[in-house]
Structure formats: structure tokens, C-alpha cells
Amino acid sequence: MKRRDFLIGIGTVATLKPLAALAQPRTLRRIGSMSSLAADDPISLARLGAFRQSLSHLGWTEGREVEITYRYAAGSAEKMSANAVEFEALKPDVILVNGAPALASLVRVTKSIPIVFVAVSDPVADGFARSMAQPGGNVTGFTDYESATSGKWVQILRDVAPNLALILVANTPGNPSTPRRVSAIENAAANFGLKVKNLPLTNTGEFDASSFDQNSGLIALPSPYTSSQREALIKFSNANKIPAVFPFRYFATGGGLMSYGVDVIDLYRQAASYVSRILKGEHPADLPIQEPTKYELVLNLKAAKAMGIEVPAPLLVRADDVIEQ
């Protein structure tokens, strides 16, 4: 073989080898997404869209660096449990989950798969973590509540309904945070001489107008069930002219009188940073649980007008957003 042909052959091999390596299928990192809402719920779509966008900005694009397996529960505790068992079998690199009931389902089946939660009120009191600063296990994430929130709900409700005498607290039985939230509302209500009645929900039929009188108000606690049934809750309170404060913006934008709480979509954006760090090798035990730093008050003046409620000027000034149409 001539020296020139030999050198050309070597160059060809050197060129082809990297191309062959590039042709090898790439192993994608696996993320499990466990939502408490329905697959077609606009809020669920918005939350996961924000998560994927933030994750992509961090270098993890779905279908290129990561594959995401989605499971939904539509507020069903049975479906949450089934989804948790399925994820334990699939063993993804990390699981994103929202809400305490869904997180509880996961913790029951795995102590090894890393979990990043969103919108869990008190992960330490519920036994999901050892402490906020050092979770110590396979769970970390972003909370959606602090004790002062319950007092704010009571105050806001009283501001729009000065003759308020009774607060009904719509909640979901079995949600780990329910007893603490109800107790906090009772303590806050006592300062104003208001009574509190617990209203556990298993279906929308339990909203009976006879439970209310003209001096009643409603606080809907955050839970997968109240979120999945928000249209029915809003319709009921508006139709019966019952002043109500809801936990998240999408209740007010969906027609409810008012909401006060954290921006959960922003929590999903933040959750992407923890998922990224875990994919890069960090452990949930070493990632501090983050508490909310911003709350938003949203008022729906169209709903207020239909209910014959005049929202006081100081509350309008405090509002982060006012819906007029």
C-alpha cells in the first residue's frame, strides 16, 4: 500500500469513529410527574408548562435530555395511591408531586426515589421531612402556606362582610393539613367573636344552602379536591350570595369573589431548579425546603357586584389584582 493511501485510510477511520459514536442512542434521564388534578385541567396544564419551560432553561429539554412520565388523579385519593405504586415500580430518577395527599401516597411506597413536592403546607409536622433546613430523607420541595395565612383569610372575609357571624370551612377529610388549618381559623375567628363550622366535603352535593344564613361566609381550604371542584364551589357561593375567600388566584379569575394565597405556578418554576440539581447528583436530604415569600390578593369586582357586596376601598388598595369584567 502506498504511503499516501495509508494516510487517507487513517484519516477516514478517524473521521467516521466520532460520527458512529454520535449515532448511538442517548440515554434520557427520567422524571415522574404526579399531579393531583385532571390531565385536561387548565391549571394543571399551566403548572406543568411552567415547570417544563424552567427545566428547559436549565438544560433539561423534554425529549432531548429527559423523558417525563405524567400521571393524574383528578382529586381522587384512590388514583393517587395507584399512581404512587406505579411510579415506585417505574423508578424514575426523580418525582415531581403536588399536594400533601399525593405526597403521602408516594412516601408510603418509596423511601429511596428522590421526590420534589410543590404546595405542601407543613412537611415537617406531617412527617415528610426531619426539618425545613435539613429534610434528611428522600423528600424536599416548596411549601404553600404559613400559619398567618389563616388569620388573613378571616380578616379579608370580615372586611367584605362586616356583619359576618359564622365561617364555614370547606375542607377535604384525610388531608394532613386540615386539622391545623381549621384550628388556626378558629383561633383567628375567636378574636372577632365569630363562630366556625367545619364543612368536610366528599362531593359537591354536601354544599347545602340550609347550612348558611345571611351572616355566613366561606373559607375554602386548599386541597386537590377543592381545586378540582372549583367551578362547583364558585357557582354555589355566588348563587347563594355567600362571601367566600379561596386559596389560589385561579378561583378568583374563574369567577370567585376573592382569593389570597401563593402563586403555585411560580412554585412549579422553582421546583425545576431542585429537579435539575437532583439530576446532577445532589440529594433531597441536603436541599432545604423552601417557604413562600410572596402572597397575592385577587378581588373579583364583577362577582362582588352580582352578590351585592361593596368591597371597601382599603382592601382594593391592598389588592395585587382587581378583576372588573
What pLDDT, in 10s, does the model give residues 25-43? Answer: 568 999 999 999 999 999 9
Domain that holds residue 112: 29-144+263-286
Answer positive or negative: Cα dihedral of 162, 163, 164, 165. positive
User: What confidence tens digit (pLDDT) does each residue in 151-176 have?
Assistant: 999 999 999 999 999 998 988 777 77
Q: Which of 27, 28, 32, 26 has the alpha carbon at shortest distance from 275?
A: 32
CATH of the domain at 208: 3.40.50.2300
The pLDDT value given to residue 289: 97
Task: DSSP for 77-116, please give it.
Answer: HHHHHHHHHHHHHH--SEEEEESHHHHHHHHHH-SSS-EE
User: Across the chain, what does the average pLDDT equal?
Assistant: 88
The pLDDT value given to residue 198: 82
Count how many domains the chain has. 2
Distance separating alpha carbons of residues 22 and 291, to the nearest angstrom: 43
**Considering the domain boundaries, does residue 3 fall inside one?**
no
Whether 233 and 273 share a structural domain: no
The pLDDT value given to residue 275: 98
Whether 267 and 244 share a structural domain: no
Name the DSSP class of 285: G
64 burial via Cβ count (<10 Å: 0-12, 13-18, 19+): exposed
**Considering the domain boundaries, does residue 193 fall inside one?**
yes
State the CB neighbour count (10 A cutoff) for residue 231.
Answer: 13
Q: Considering only residues 324 and 282, tell me which one the structure prediction assigns the higher pLDDT.
A: 282
Whether 157 and 80 share a structural domain: no
**Considering the domain boundaries, does residue 13 fall inside one?**
no
pTM above 0.85, yes or no: no
Distance separating alpha carbons of residues 161 and 324, to the nearest angstrom: 19
Whether 242 and 113 share a structural domain: no
Torsion-angle region of 163 (φ positive above 0: left; ψ -120 to 50: alpha; else: beta): alpha
State the CB neighbour count (10 A cutoff) for residue 113.
Answer: 19
**Considering the domain boundaries, does residue 250 fall inside one?**
yes
**Considering the domain boundaries, does residue 18 fall inside one?**
no
